[in-house]
Amino acid sequence: MNQPALPQPLLTCAGQALPYRLVRSPRRRTIGLKIDEQGLTVFAPPNLPGAQLETLIQTRAAWIRTKWTECCQKSALRVVPREGALLPYLGRTVRLSLDSGPTHLEGEVLYLNPGRGDITVALQRWYQAQALPFFLPRVAHYAGQLGVPLPAVALSNARRRWGSCHARGMIRLNWRLLKASLAEMDYVIAHEVAHLRHMNHGPTFRETLQCLYPNHAEAHRTLRERGFLYHAF
């Protein structure tokens, strides 16, 4: 059984203070470090001396500081769903206005009626309702280019994957792609459609993706840089 994670007041690393906790587990044989918006988590074997932990942490101090700074910057950029928030939608931003009428998008304003429920949940449901009707024609476009039948398409709520293609011919697309630009969205769709021919990432797959979406490398890079914004809610 893992020993409970014990929160420490703060850890000073490379002159910067950050939240820190230590998790010891009998299943661990080595030391592991994880940095997220909650701070630094150190995973260690149960009997490893504290002095060794301290030495490792200080050895990795520059890396820890860099990653912690990145996490803080990303956290500051994430949207919190509330009145007046600017929401990502199809590569642009729309302003959120809480309203008692029917939920609808009018120009650059999304009028959202959460009722007595949670704003975030209501907002997610709105995105999800828009997603599949928007994705289907684009899947059909790339399937037509490839000369394959239109596959079954379903929404995904995955936290780490933007899309997937199953051997039986079903494509799943993350509804959060509706927050991305059309270039990022089309890259993911073309990528999954290419898997209808090649269930791998070998040379023939890459050639097919290049034919379907020549700007895939740039779109992939942008999605990696901005994807955390789309996962904010």
Mean pLDDT check: name the lowest of 71-80, 97-106, 136-145.
71-80
- What is the pLDDT, as a whole number, of residue 35? 84
Residues 58 and 136 in one domain: no
109 lies in a domain? no
128 lies in a domain? yes
Strand order across the 32-36 sheet: 6-13, 16-24, 39-44, 32-36
Chain Cα centroid distance, residue 230: 6
Beta bridge mates, 97: 111
24 lies in a domain? yes
101/97 Cα distance (integer angstroms): 11
Q: What is the DSSP letter of 5?
A: P
- What is the pLDDT, as a whole number, of residue 12? 65
185 lies in a domain? yes
Residues 139 and 196 in one domain: yes
Q: Where are the beta strands (DSSP E) in 28-91?
A: 32-36, 39-44, 86-89
Residues 72 and 129 in one domain: no
CB 93 within 8 A of CB 85: no
Average pLDDT, the chain: 89
Work out the burial of residue 188: count CB atoms within 10 Å of its CB; fewer than 13 is exposed, 13-18 middle, 19 or more buried.
buried
Residues 146 and 50 in one domain: no
179 lies in a domain? yes
Residues 145 and 68 in one domain: no
CB 96 within 8 A of CB 110: yes
202 lies in a domain? yes
Residues 127 and 73 in one domain: no
Residues 140 and 224 in one domain: yes
190/118 Cα distance (integer angstroms): 34
Confidence category of residue 126, pLDDT binned at 50, 70, 90 = very high
45 lies in a domain? yes
Residues 129 and 192 in one domain: yes
Residues 55 and 147 in one domain: no
Burial 167-187 (b: 16+ CB within 10 A, else e): eeeebbbbbbbbbbbeebbbb
Strand order across the 86-89 sheet: 86-89, 92-98, 109-112, 104-106
The model's pLDDT over 207-225, given as tens digits with 9 standing for 90+, comes to 999 999 999 999 999 999 8
**Of 55, 77, 99, the domain-final residue:** 77
The model's pLDDT over 30-81, given as tens digits with 9 standing for 90+, comes to 888 888 877 888 899 998 888 888 888 888 888 888 887 777 777 766 777 8
- How many separate domains does the chain show? 2
Residues 134 and 222 in one domain: yes
For residue 49, give its domain range: 6-77
CATH number for the domain that contains residue 130: 3.30.2010.10
- CA distance to 8, 102, 195, per residue, from 106 (Å): 48, 12, 37
131 lies in a domain? yes
